[in-house]
Structure 1
Amino acid sequence: MKNKLLYILIFAIATSVYSQKIPTKKIKKLIEKSELLNEHFVGFALFDQEKDKMIYEQNASKHFVPASNTKMYTFYTALNVLGDSIPALKYTIKGDSLIFWGTGDPTLAYSTFKSNKVVDFLKASTKKLFFISNNYKGNFYGYGWNYDDYLEDFQPELTAFPVDGNTAKVYKNEAGGVTVKPPFLQPFFKVDPNYIHEYFTIHRDFYSNQFTYPSTISKTGYLQEIPFKTSPELTISLLEEKTNKDISLIDIPLPKDFKLVYSEKTDDVLRKMMLVSDNFIAEQLLLVCSSTMSNELSTDKIIDYSKINFMKEFANDITWVDGSGLSRYNLFTPNSSIILLKKISNKINDEERLQSLFPAGGISGTLKRAYKTDNEKAFVWAKTGTLTNVYNQSGYIITRKGKKLIYAFMNNNFTRTTDEIRSEMARIITEIHNNY
């Protein structure tokens, strides 16, 4: 009788342990039996957070172009470097002069951000205003960016003191012409009667702010958002327009006793970057992080600093060159992203906050249409990454049985549509959620 009870107890324990374990073979089958995924280079890693154990890996130590999965690395850097608000401006007062430097803060008059702290600060000053622009140490584009995309709204130029997101927003007005924001740029837009295009589109000269558009505008309302050519002089002009004050350009070193003005809440800026995959915010946030180390705004230096201080476990296994993932020179592995996502989770240590900062499947951001919810609740929170022939997702899953998993799912060099790849990935992740 005792032996029988012992057998039953052992069987019950074994059954319970087995039921708690996600079977590797079934996950492997999900991936390897997909005809679509067998057509291209796929990396996949699935990690059990509670057991601190890898469940399944395929090509997980191989390098992939991450696209906007890169923003997770920028995100983690910002979590470690920035406080609860974004430093927007450094300044010092000398006699009758207020002298200021940019920090790379992307939020001034950009997107949905409403803070007017910088403009209000400059407006309120009774001093003469002087701007110093020499602290950005870099090109107007990131390393490896596609110069053919200079007209695209996802690739504005990088500066120490962005205004209006370094882009012009163009609308059709009641008079049949265009209205430009910021208004200072309006005179740079000209009709070109010889410019014929099937759809209304604005063209800008690569080297200057000479904008042209067709004489016929059929579309109403918002038309286009187009990056402008940046310069310190243009930055001053845009700031003068917003502050109604004269601002001069000078060049002096930053003193040790400088002061700071802050703008938006850091979480709000990070959320905007992650949910809509905003390249401009990502790039500028790295410069903001760099500005906290010194007055030199350098993407290269803050990446090196972050790898040494926050990512030493995998620093030698990745190639990281920009903040957004626009560059194809970035190379990460599924394993490095798993480790990073663990570190992000531990750093935030608040599930509700963590989930609010990542796109939620079926609910928000770049995953809103990729997944269906389960009883109107999200079960996957992940950063996407998309370039031509590249689509990735990396993030967190909560299964119906309550298991908390981390995954990195990377697809490179496919020739099908991104929609097909996205749908197949969603099918597999949903099966993992439903069954385990």
Structure 2
Amino acid sequence: MRFTVYLLCLWLVLTGCSTYRPIQRQLRQNPQLTDHATGFALYDWEKQKMVVQHQAHLYFTPASNTKLFSFYAGLVTLGDSIPALRYVTRSDSLIFWGTGDPSLLNQNLPDTTVLRFLRNRAERLVFSTTNYSGQRFGPGWAWDDFNDDYSAELAPLPLYGNFVRFGSPDRIARLDVEPRFFRDSVSAVSERKFSRNVQRDEHRNRFDRPAAVRPFHQDVPFRWSPQLAAQLLADTLHREVATASIPFDHSAKTLYSQPADSLYKRMLQISDNTLAEHLMLLCSSVQDTLNSTLGIQTVLKKHLADLPDKPNWVDGSGLSRYNLFTPRSIISLLQKIYKTVPQERLFQLLAIGGSTGTIQRVYKTDRPFVFAKSGSMTGVYNLSGYLITKKGKVLLFSMMHNNFAGSVADMRNRTAAFLTEIHQNY
């Protein structure tokens, strides 16, 4: 009897392994997956076990897969709403400190809570930045990306997403600038050869544009400063906003803005770097200090100490190549997220294959089956998330491609073909 039970258990183990053997074979032999560094991990949620691992213990540059870590940090640190300001009243003044909330005057995240609050206060408005101890860029960011919309500066009180939106809807020599505050900071330059429509001076808010205007749209980061933030606020509120270096008051009250899911959804689907970076500032703000490194270290220590491999996690967005994660650690993270967020809500926040976000042009189907976060930069393409098979299985996956010389689009298509096959056969 015991021998029979032993044989049955052995048979179950062997058949379980053989079920996924074709996937292992592809990972070892398919030239589409072997001409560069590929890591892959697949986890069966129903069986609660890892069913495929290929170089899953090796470290890869995650790019925007880092945002999954930032998302989890928000889930375990913040409540349902985003803290927007910390404030106290002293005599005739309302003194306020930022929290890193990126929604203030952000066209992509419309919310008027802070504006209504400040506009309706009778006190003198005073803005202080003494609770912020970070730099304007994250560790390892490319310094010459300062003109690109994905590299907006970090700040305790972001406004307008910390960028200027330029646009010309037609060929008339008209340039739309938002916020209008920057209109007088733009110069038309005819003799210069432009690689882009608008180029900002690296160290100040002076913007050059070609004299010959053609239809275009461009978001260009501005140089943030406490004084500029106060000016932009004053310009919108039509009242004075002063700045002062007033030490943070730990008894300060908190003003909340919009639902946290609004921020999570855009960050995960559109892969908004500014939102991801400021989410980590928000996470650190619960300790009354705005510092991304502090937020990251706290989450690693309190909530991610049990990952299979210790992450090298340095920023919120994944812009830095200093970030290094393993596929099997990402699987562990996906398990934690899946246990924390109900499936229906979670799948609406992530990019949906064939439908929304960065993977809407692949996985075309009437019934979406991939819900994931992509991550890409030169030589890097990763996709991690959840896959629903034709049989209804929920599989957690992390596929990481590094060190390839081809295009990201090609690697995206290779990944889609590989995952679609898993969807169809399992």
How high is the TM-score relative to the length of structure 2? 0.94
2:307 counterpart (305, 310, 314) = 314
Question: 1:264 offset after TM fit, Å?
Answer: 1.2
Confirm whether residue 265 of structure 1 aligns to residue 286 of structure 2.
Answer: no
Kindly provide the amino acid, as one letter, of the partner of residue 71 in structure 2.
F
State how 1:163-182 maps to structure 2 within 5 Å: 163-172=159-168, 176-182=173-179
Question: Which of 184, 191, 195 is the matching residue for 1:194?
Answer: 191
1:176–1:217 Cα contact (<8 Å) kept: yes
Structure 1: which amino acid aligns with 2:173?
A: G
Question: 1:105 and 1:254 mapped to 2: Cα distance?
Answer: 17
**Alignment equivalent of 2:137, drawn from 141, 151, 156:** 141
Aligned residue number for residue 235 of structure 1: 229
Asked if the contact 1:108–1:162 (Cα under 8 Å) also holds between the matched residues in 2, the reply is: yes
The answer to whether residue 335 in structure 2 is matched with residue 338 in structure 1 is no
CA distance in 2, matches of 1:163, 1:315: 39
Q: Secondary structure, in 3 states, of the residue corresponding to 1:87?
A: strand
Q: State the partner residue of 1:325.
A: 318
Indicate conservation of the 8 Å contact 2:308/2:328, yes or no. Answer: no
Contact 1:195 1:213 in 2 (8 A): no
1:94 — aligned with what? Answer: 90
Bigger mean CA deviation after superposition, 24-33 or 34-43: 24-33
Q: Deviation string for 1:183-238 (max 9, x for gaps)?
A: 111111111232233x651111100011111111122xx52110011111110111
The equivalent of 1:287 in structure 2 is 281
Q: Is the 8 A contact 2:377 2:408 kept in 1?
A: no
2:360 is equivalent to residue 364 of structure 1: no
For the 8 Å contact 1:22–1:55, the answer to whether it is kept is no
**Aligned counterparts of 1:304 and 1:258: Cα–Cα separation in 2:** 24
1:117 to 113, 116, 121: 113
Residue of structure 2 aligned with 1:51, choices 42, 47, 50: 47
Task: Measure, in 2, the Cα distance between the counterparts of 1:207 and 1:12.
Answer: 71
Does residue 434 of the first structure (1) align with residue 424 of the second (2)? yes
Equivalent-residue separation in structure 1 for 2:196 and 2:151 (angstroms): 20
Matched, 1:419 2:416: no
Deviation sequence 1:323-365 (CA, Å, 0-9, x none): 00000000000011000000000011x1101101111111111
Q: Which amino acid aligns with 2:416?
A: A
Matching residue of 2:271? 277
1:151 Cα deviation from its structure 2 partner: 0.6
Q: Secondary structure at the match of 1:317?
A: coil
Amino acid at match of 1:287: L
Identity %: 39
- In the TM superposition, residue 27 of structure 1 has moved relative to its aligned partner by 1.3
Contact 1:85 1:266 in 2 (8 A): yes
CA distance in 2, matches of 1:125, 1:432: 58
Given the alignment, which residue of 394, 398, 402 partners 1:404? 394
Instruction: Give unmatched runs, 5+ long, in structure 1.
Output: 1-6
Greater shift after overlay, 60-69 or 47-56? 47-56
Change in Cα spacing, 1:111 to 1:16, as seen in structure 2 (3 Å) is farther
**Secondary structure class of the residue paired with 1:154:** helix
Report if aligned partners of 1:200, 1:218 keep a CA contact under 8 Å in 2.
no
Distance 1:272 1:414 in 2: 28
Deviations 1:284-342 (CA, angstroms, capped at 9, x unpaired): 00001110122x10011111100000101128621000000000000000011000000
Give the equivalent residue in structure 2 for 1:84.
80
Report the Cα distance in structure 1 between the residues aligned to 2:89 and 2:278, rounded to whole angstroms.
26
Q: Is the 8 A contact 1:31 1:428 kept in 2?
A: no
SS state of the match for residue 371, structure 2? Answer: strand
Instruction: Indicate the RMSD between aligned Cα atoms, in angstroms.
Output: 2.1
Runs of 4+ in 1 over 3 A off after TM superposition: 11-22
Shift of residue 112, structure 1, vs aligned partner: 2.5
Cα deviation for residue 115 of structure 1 reads 1.1
CA distance in 1, matches of 2:17, 2:368: 23
Q: Deviations over 1:240-278 (max 9, x none)?
A: 111111011112222232111111100111011000111
Q: Are the structure 2 counterparts of residues 389 and 109 from structure 1 closer, same or farther at C-alpha, using a change threshold of 3 Å?
A: same
Deviations 1:14-64 (A, max 9, x none): 999988777131111232232121110000011111111111111100000
Distance 2:276 2:361 in 1: 23
Aligned partner of 1:4 in structure 2 is none
Q: Structure 1 residues 316, 433: closer, same or farther in 2, change over 3 A? A: closer
Amino acid at match of 2:344: E
Letter matched to residue 190 of structure 1: S
The structure 1 residue matched to 2:344, chosen from 343, 352, 355, is 352
Structure 2: give runs of 5+ residues left out of the alignment: none
Counterparts of 2:409 and 2:108 in 1: how far apart (Å)? 28
Contact 2:102–2:159, Cα closer than 8 Å, also in 1: yes
In 1, the alpha carbon distance for the partners of 2:130 and 2:249 equals: 14
- 1:128 paired with 2:124, answer yes
TM-score normalised to the size of structure 1? Answer: 0.92
Structure 1 residues 115 and 43, CA gap change in structure 2 (3 angstroms): same
Tell me, yes or no, if structure 1 residue 160 matches structure 2 residue 167: no
Shifted more, 273-282 versus 248-257: the winner is: 248-257
